[in-house]
Amino acid sequence: MERMEELLLLSHQLDFKDVRAVPLISASRWLVKRGEVTRIWWRDNAEARLTFGRKVNRQTLTLFLFTDLLVIAKKKGDEQFAVVDHCPRNLVTLAEVDSLDGIPGGGKYLSESNMCWLTLLQNHDAKTVEWLISFNFESDRLRWIEQVTPQQSHNPEEKIYEEWDCPQVEGVANYSTQDSDELTLQIGETANVLRKLSDSGKGLP
């Protein structure tokens, strides 16, 4: 109930006027994380602008990470936000900035600390976009990277799924456990697949 109430509140606070709207209310969706970042970008003829002291453009944005969706918005009033972009959560990546080479004036005016490349593989306009963003603290940056980065197994034959992006299976036959780490499944019952090995399902009818 608390999650649904929070979604109802956010549905009134987030204005999708300038982008394709997404109905927020869903029984399987809730807010996972929220935080402020600074977007950094340059316009055309950036080098010329730098010589006149117009270094970079900065914009404060708020990220709303839901179980299946990332919404990027700018504040337009007291707890009111204008949505500027959104993307399915499983199509979002956050990568550390390894080098400032190739960024206009990067070496002079920016520091790699707390910065990330935010990539939306399919934004509201079905396009791939990449933004340079900066977090207030290093701890914030690391937490956000962890939230949007799927876990990787050390076993090359194992696939790990996130709870928000896992496949679901339905029992087509009754199965009783043969080992303590197995799951009893009846016909018609459903289960989320969180880990999958190459031999998963062997021996089943």
Domain harbouring 3, CATH code: 2.30.29.30
DSSP string, 137-153: SHHHHHHHHHHHSPP--
My answer on whether 39 and 94 are in the same domain is: yes
pLDDT for 169 equals 77
Q: Are residues 144 and 178 in the same domain?
A: no
Tens digit of each residue's pLDDT (9 = 90 or more) over 130-146: 999 999 898 999 999 98
Please give the pLDDT value at position 60: 94
Residues 6+ apart with CB under 8 A from 86: 19, 22, 69, 70, 71, 72, 123, 124
What is the identity of the amino acid at 42?
Answer: W
Range of the domain at 64: 1-148
Q: Do 113 and 188 share a domain, yes or no?
A: no
* 42 and 96, same domain (yes or no): yes
Longest dimension (CA), the chain: 74
Q: What is the mean pLDDT of the chain?
A: 80
Q: What angle do CA 78, 11, 122 make, to 5 degrees?
A: 105
As a whole number, mean pLDDT of residues 27-40 equals 92
**Mean of the pLDDT values across residues 159-166?**
61
